[in-house]
Structure 1
Amino acid sequence: MSPPTAPEPVPKADSKDATVSGCDDADIQQTTTRELSIAEAAIYRVYRRRWVGLATLMLMNIMISWGWITFAPVSTSTQDFFRLQKASSVNWLSTVIFLAYICMSPVVIYTLRNFGVRAALLFAAGFSITGVWLRFIGARVGSSDGGHFPIVMVGQILIGFGQPFVLSAPAYYSDLWFTSGQRITANALISLSNPLGAALGQLIDPFLVSRPEDIPNMLLYIAIITTAVTIPVFFVQGRPPTPPCPSSAQEKLPFKSAFPRILRSVEFWLIFVMFSILVGFFNASSSLLNQILEPYGYSENEAGIGGAVLIVVGLLASAVVSPIIDRTHTFLLAIRILVPVISICYIGLIFAPTSRSLAPPYIVLAFLGAASFSLLPLSLEFVVEITHPVSPEITSTILWSGGQLLGAVFILSMTALTDSGTGNMRRALIFQAIISCAASIAALGIGWGDRVVHVQTRRIALDTSEGGQ
């Protein structure tokens, strides 16, 4: 990615769309000059239109995530409607999303790097619209005979093909359009819209499905909303006219140079292990929450509310933590605090449902959501910082691919560990707690001792040294 050529300075009165980092949207000023390849002056600006792309990425993440989680909150009704013999068949509707993500990852990296975020959004819209309408058709046609489950599965796979185009985009988009003092917040708004969609699904789907025969209507409503949400995609601009700060203007390494650099980074792989395990378990727990709670007498509605608590509290916590990290840049300290908290929450999830009352599991889910959602965007941005000038879409796609792969593995493993007679998932929850502790060990090893030199925030240092902040 070559740094864009800076245009001639534009008078303030004629540039209502541009702002300088740290100033109000109405203000413009030249913040720094640096040597480019032809020794031209560079003007660093942030633009109001960046919020259009950010909002569109948020909406697309919400709907694709809702598409992923659709059947999990109403797993019993789904099993009855499609006349499935085992609950594991319903779980595959979530699992194929994760596997589809991995298949599309190379395409996503190529698309973002060569064609930009607008092309990625168009791909995501095409896959998701086709997928949600196929699901509706599969459920509606022959609904009196249990519908056509294979058609629904194909629709689910297509949604999975669309997901990586929007889930891998936040770090790329924030690097392109935002300054170092705004990137974690921007990343949080986009990335956490994905679990927000899951929260909507957890909360709304059980109310749409009071009996198995309601499944086709639920899929119709989701298909209509998804189609409407894709309209803003056509108004998104690929890249800003001028970069927001020096690190955004710096040319990124080509893939053939970037990948070996990543392979040699111990810190990257420690973060990869931590991130993949925790995202994998979050995906698995979200998909299996109804099955985790049901043996203890919790209803689908109560499990759906629990899923919503997990995500809504997480969003609120991230809304507080992300701006703080943006200002203080205390990435590593936050990781070392949050990851052990998450492990403790998974241990608590073993015991909370046995109380058979709502408060204990809801409290554990609230703390789990708060820590997990605060960790997610800062981890994605921290990896970009320590690997810069590796392009952000490469590192974020690799991290997300690990999380999606382990999400599929954990769903299958936890389903296999479920008691076939009672449906109790205690053994699965113990497995989850033990493996999550490995994530804590990885997190505590990041930048340990002499390796602290490998966790320097390279983009922030560049922006600070060149006056880009």
Structure 2
Amino acid sequence: MTNERLAETSSGTPLRGERDGHALPDVDGQHGNEHHHHHNHHHHHGAAGNRRSYSHMHFRVYKRRWFGLVQLVLLNTVISMNWLTFSPVSTTSAKYYGVSETAINWLSTGFMFAFVVMAPLVIWTLNRGPKEAIVWSSVLMLVGSWIRYAGTKAGGGVYGVAMLGQIIIGMAQPFALAAPTRYSDLWFTESGRVSATAIASLANPFGAALAQLIVPFWATKESEVPNMVLYVAIISTIVCLPGVFIPAKPPTPPSASSHLPKIDLVASIRKLSTSPSFYLILFPFVIYVGSFNAFSSLLNQILYPYGYSETEAGICGALLIVIGLVAAAITSPLLDRSHAYILGIKLLVPIIALGYLALIWAPQTRTLAAPYVISSLLGAASFSLVPIALEYLVEVTFPASPEVGSTICWAGGQLVGCVYIIIMNALKDGNVDLKTVSEKGRGMGTGDRPPGNMYKALVFQAVFALAVVPAPMLLGIERLGLGEGKLKGRLRVDERGEGVGEGGVVEAAEGEGGPEGNLRI
């Protein structure tokens, strides 16, 4: 390979060759040394040599890393708006297409199934580098959103074509949603990764919140449904365009760990499948992502039989997400500084489980306070957990490539979400005459189990939420061989490789919004 030759810049920063989007080792004794007669004294063999050579490397972060991060945020936000275009106005949309409300639920469910189907391809693409995944995501979303508009506009709404568009957008989602850990590993240091992953991953529920807030205003009656879909298609188009222009990788690595080569895909998958910690995170992650997806998709139908309006349900869904984002904005930077991943996971998991338990009885209070407070709590705990769990997963499976674990976790969560929506729909109490319910309103409703209630569905959701609590409680227990010592792979490399000798990271000030400082573009 010609690009394996290591060039040196004037500052002594190795410009490493890249293969499959990964760094080639600069100190493996085979290449490198012959091109570095004047640098031979740094390049010893073996681990000790590795450590010593880092002290002469200048790790640096680049301002341009924010371009790609912003693009990931925009993609995840808008893909999510596409996912929940119809759910917040399920009754209106059902009338427009002349289908049942269950068929409208399938628009959301089909979207999630598409995610699961694409997972293997996503792992392979992300392994080559995040930019490629971002471009794929943009193209699929662009195509899908216009097909969906065509299906909505044509002949008073052709449900099948709208569904096809929805599935294509669903295929775009995993490329953008599984990318953040891979992106933050490539561009950020250990003092910014949790925050970078949080910002890009949580854009996904943020888009869902936007949809739940905005869509009901865009489609107040059936005739406005095509315009609603058109607006989303236009937004999708604008957001897709910048993806082509973002830089593919930093000129030099930001930290020691991102400088080390990752093991290949097959080895990464093998490492994950034999890691107990991976399963202890996977189970709660998929159950809680699934619960969250089902809850936000069905929120309207959960509250409606008790006389809540679509607007009140929309506010409840928005609270779930806005409070969650605020909480994650507080917890992520704290974890970037403390790296207390296990403590965070063990605190948040029981809170989420109790939230789903309390949710069973929230609608029948017929107050706004109960569902609003529980939604806020669920949002805060769930959103704080996502980036911590994803980043901890990269730590415990290092040097496996980050996208493998995050794609499997997200795909599992989407699959559970689909299954949940189907089961919870089936557990719904017979069809309810929506007209009479909405006329009565909350004040007039009677009984804890009105027609159309989803009480059994909420019980089902709570049982599984509680069942997975013990798994993460085992993390970090020495006696089970899950001790911290062996697990903090990536952080150990970074701590050893950074700030040594004259090299170290050229990153001084830690601003509020994540790592900034004397960065050069």
Looking at structure 2, the residues matched to 400 and 3 of structure 1 have their Cα atoms a distance apart, in angstroms, of 34
Aligned partner of 1:453 in structure 2 is: 483
1:433 to 432, 437, 462: 462
Indicate yes or no: 2:255 matched with 1:245: yes
2:133 to 80, 100, 120: 120
Aligned partner of 2:366 in structure 1 is: 356
Q: 1:11 offset after TM fit, Å?
A: 10
Looking at structure 1, the residues matched to 377 and 124 of structure 2 have their Cα atoms a distance apart, in angstroms, of 37
Aligned partner of 1:110 in structure 2 is: 124
Q: Is the 8 A contact 1:202 1:307 kept in 2?
A: yes
Looking at structure 2, the residues matched to 355 and 371 of structure 1 have their Cα atoms a distance apart, in angstroms, of 23
Looking at structure 2, the residues matched to 448 and 415 of structure 1 have their Cα atoms a distance apart, in angstroms, of 39
Looking at structure 2, the residues matched to 11 and 304 of structure 1 have their Cα atoms a distance apart, in angstroms, of 56
Q: 1:445 offset after TM fit, Å?
A: 2.1
Look up the equivalent residue of 2:139 and give its one-letter code.
G
Aligned residue runs from structure 1 range 13-412, under 5 A? 35=27, 37=29, 38=32, 39=43, 42-84=57-99, 86-114=100-128, 116-143=129-156, 147-412=157-422
Looking at structure 2, the residues matched to 387 and 3 of structure 1 have their Cα atoms a distance apart, in angstroms, of 27
After superposition, the Cα gap between the structure-2 partners of 1:348 and 1:407, relative to the gap in structure 1 and judged at 3 Å, is same
Q: Is the 8 A contact 1:79 1:87 kept in 2?
A: yes
Look up the equivalent residue of 2:396 and give its one-letter code.
I
Looking at structure 2, the residues matched to 56 and 119 of structure 1 have their Cα atoms a distance apart, in angstroms, of 13
Looking at structure 2, the residues matched to 229 and 170 of structure 1 have their Cα atoms a distance apart, in angstroms, of 17
Looking at structure 1, the residues matched to 427 and 344 of structure 2 have their Cα atoms a distance apart, in angstroms, of 33
Look up the equivalent residue of 2:284 and give its one-letter code.
M
Q: 1:452 offset after TM fit, Å?
A: 3.2
Q: Is the 8 A contact 1:4 1:242 kept in 2?
A: no
Look up the equivalent residue of 2:413 and give its one-letter code.
G
Looking at structure 2, the residues matched to 361 and 138 of structure 1 have their Cα atoms a distance apart, in angstroms, of 36
Looking at structure 2, the residues matched to 112 and 273 of structure 1 have their Cα atoms a distance apart, in angstroms, of 23
Look up the equivalent residue of 1:164 and give its one-letter code.
P
SS of the residue corresponding to residue 190 of structure 2 reads coil
Looking at structure 2, the residues matched to 6 and 374 of structure 1 have their Cα atoms a distance apart, in angstroms, of 42
Summarize deviations over 1:20-70 as a string: whole Å, max 9, x none. Answer: xxxxxxxxxxxxx98455337533110000000000000000000111111
Q: Is the 8 A contact 1:318 1:370 kept in 2?
A: yes
Q: Is the 8 A contact 1:246 1:462 kept in 2?
A: yes
Summarize deviations over 1:241-297 as a string: whole Å, max 9, x none. Answer: 000000001111112212221111111011111100000100111111101110111
Look up the equivalent residue of 1:412 and give its one-letter code.
I
SS of the residue corresponding to residue 243 of structure 1 reads coil
Looking at structure 1, the residues matched to 366 and 387 of structure 2 have their Cα atoms a distance apart, in angstroms, of 34
Q: Is the 8 A contact 1:6 1:43 kept in 2?
A: no
After superposition, the Cα gap between the structure-2 partners of 1:358 and 1:4, relative to the gap in structure 1 and judged at 3 Å, is farther
Q: Is the 8 A contact 1:121 1:233 kept in 2?
A: yes
Looking at structure 1, the residues matched to 94 and 352 of structure 2 have their Cα atoms a distance apart, in angstroms, of 31
SS of the residue corresponding to residue 241 of structure 1 reads coil
Q: Is the 8 A contact 1:196 1:312 kept in 2?
A: yes
Looking at structure 1, the residues matched to 138 and 489 of structure 2 have their Cα atoms a distance apart, in angstroms, of 34
Looking at structure 2, the residues matched to 309 and 101 of structure 1 have their Cα atoms a distance apart, in angstroms, of 26
After superposition, the Cα gap between the structure-2 partners of 1:264 and 1:214, relative to the gap in structure 1 and judged at 3 Å, is same
Looking at structure 1, the residues matched to 278 and 477 of structure 2 have their Cα atoms a distance apart, in angstroms, of 13
Look up the equivalent residue of 1:109 and give its one-letter code.
I
Query: What TM-score comes out, normalization by structure 2 length?
Result: 0.82
SS of the residue corresponding to residue 46 of structure 1 reads coil
Looking at structure 2, the residues matched to 71 and 261 of structure 1 have their Cα atoms a distance apart, in angstroms, of 40
Looking at structure 1, the residues matched to 226 and 153 of structure 2 have their Cα atoms a distance apart, in angstroms, of 6
Q: Is the 8 A contact 1:343 1:437 kept in 2?
A: yes
Looking at structure 2, the residues matched to 62 and 345 of structure 1 have their Cα atoms a distance apart, in angstroms, of 25
SS of the residue corresponding to residue 59 of structure 2 reads coil
Q: Is the 8 A contact 1:4 1:243 kept in 2?
A: no
Report how many residues are paired: 443
Q: 1:103 offset after TM fit, Å?
A: 1.1
Aligned partner of 1:26 in structure 2 is: none
Q: 1:9 offset after TM fit, Å?
A: 3.6
Q: Is the 8 A contact 2:477 2:483 kept in 1?
A: no
Looking at structure 2, the residues matched to 394 and 7 of structure 1 have their Cα atoms a distance apart, in angstroms, of 32
Identity of aligned residues (%): 46
Q: 1:438 offset after TM fit, Å?
A: 1.7
Look up the equivalent residue of 1:107 and give its one-letter code.
L
Summarize deviations over 1:219-244 as a string: whole Å, max 9, x none. Answer: 00100011011121122111100000
Q: Is the 8 A contact 1:53 1:237 kept in 2?
A: yes
Runs of 4 or more off by more than 4 Å in structure 1?
Answer: 2-6, 33-37
Structure 1: unaligned runs, 5 residues or longer: 13-32
Structure 2: unaligned runs, 5 residues or longer: 14-24, 33-42, 44-52, 432-450, 500-504, 506-521
What root-mean-square deviation, in Å, do the aligned CA atoms of Structure 1 and Structure 2 show? 1.9
Look up the equivalent residue of 2:148 and give its one-letter code.
R
Looking at structure 2, the residues matched to 453 and 4 of structure 1 have their Cα atoms a distance apart, in angstroms, of 40
